[in-house]
Each structure stands twice: as C-alpha cells, then as structure tokens.
Amino acid sequence: MDPGRPGKGSMEPREPLRPGGRSARIQDSVHRAVRALLGEADRGDVTIPLIAQRAGVTPSTIYRRWGDLAALLADVAAARLRPDGPPADTGDLRGDLEAWAEQLAEELASDAGRAIVRDLLAGGGEGTVCGRCAAYTRAQIEVMLTRASARGEAGPSADRVLDRVVAPIYYRLIFTLPPISGEQAVALIAACFDADSDADAALGGERREGRPR
C-alpha cells in the first residue's frame, strides 16, 4: 500500500499469531511457504508436500492443523485480509468511510484481491475463516463510528455500511461481475448518509440482477 494514502491498511500478510510457542512458529513458517510458492509456481502445482518441504515441517503436521490444502489457503487468505492498524482518521466520519471503502474496493478488485476471495470461498464459505474476515471488517467500521461518536457526529450504522457498501463489493467479486471501482465505493458511502438514496443511482444506474432499472 502507498504509505501516503489513507485507508484501512495494506493487504500484505499479517498472521494472527498467538504469542510465542511452537504452534505460532509453525503457522508462521507454513504461511510464509504458501505465499512464496504461490508467487513462484502455478497454483495447481502447489501441494501440501511441497509446502511442508519449504516450511521445514512434515506434511502430517499441516494435515493435522489445517486438514487439507483448501483450508490452508483460506487461512492464509484470511491472514492477508487482517488490517495492520486502525482506519485512517481524516477528521470526519464521511471522510473516514470514503477513504476506507475506496481502498477496500480497489484492493479486492486487484488480481491479489480476487485470489484471496477465491481462496476464502474454496476453504468453506461458512467456516470460521470467513467469520474471522467478517469480524475484521465490522471492527474497522465500528472503530470509525466510535471515533465519530466521540466527536459528536451522527452517521449510518455498521450494518448499513456492511449491507450497502461491503456486500455489493464482495457480491460482484464472487459472481465475477465487473468490480465496484473506488469511485463507486465512495458514492455508495455517500448513499449511506442519505436515508432516501437509491443504491442503483450510486452505481451509475447500472442494471442489477433480477431488478429492472
């Protein structure tokens, strides 16, 4: 991420390691091995024995901890979505949400972002890994809302931001539709502040699946 750019934080990997211990060291080594191999080889050529060799552990260690390759890749993907700090503080809630949503949309629309979403879904869409990512997102929104409340600002609820901004960003990625741009994400945030707004208008009047314009 550009260090001069406000936002939710980079999608660079940050594993949620437990303090110290062999388990944490194994997770760190395996995650690093996965990221390195995905950067060097075709995805279909990456296997658990290959990961184990690179990480300096046995394949059985990986199977015991993650179960299978899909679950491991999902865990690595979730670690990459973990924010590395609080969202940028621009001084007002709307500015905070706009900067955060713009960066979220742009990063997830990148090749790396799309791969992360694919790995999360392949690892089990209803599992704890996806739940962890959902918690990261809600926590970031709530940080911004808490700061705004301390300044005496009113704004949309966390659920409204999730439903009106985050949900369409992920929907388009999951169903391989044209991704929401950073500019459109900013427009969706603006619509969150207007109780009478139309999400279609925020997206430039695009036709949605199953809904006439």
Task: Give yes or no for a contact between 18 and 5, defined as CB atoms under 8 angstroms apart.
Answer: no
pLDDT of 95 reads 97
| Section 25-51 average pLDDT | 95
Nearest Cα residue to 1 out of 75, 84, 120, 121 = 84
pLDDT of 22 reads 84
Task: Give yes or no for a contact between 104 and 8, defined as CB atoms under 8 angstroms apart.
Answer: yes
Cα of 103 vs its chain's centroid, Å: 11
Average pLDDT of the chain to the nearest whole number: 85
Contacts of 8 by beta carbon, 8 Å cutoff, 6+ apart: 83, 87, 88, 100, 103, 104, 140
pLDDT, tens digit (0-9, with 9 covering 90-100), for 47-101: 999 999 999 999 999 999 999 999 999 999 999 999 999 999 999 999 999 999 9
pLDDT, tens digit (0-9, with 9 covering 90-100), for 117-132: 999 989 865 568 889 9
One-character DSSP codes across 29-69: HHHHHHHHHHHHS-GGG--HHHHHHHHTS-HHHHHHHHSSH
Cα of 4 vs its chain's centroid, Å: 20
pLDDT of 206 reads 53
In the structure encoding, which two tokens stand for residue 170, read together?
């992920």
In the structure encoding, which two tokens stand for residue 71, read together?
């679950």
Domains along the chain with CATH numbers:
22-67 (1.10.10.60), 85-202 (1.10.357.10)
Assess whether pLDDT exceeds 90 at residue 146: yes
CA dihedral of 20, 22, 23, 26, whole degrees rounded to 10? 110
d(CA 148, CA 136): 19
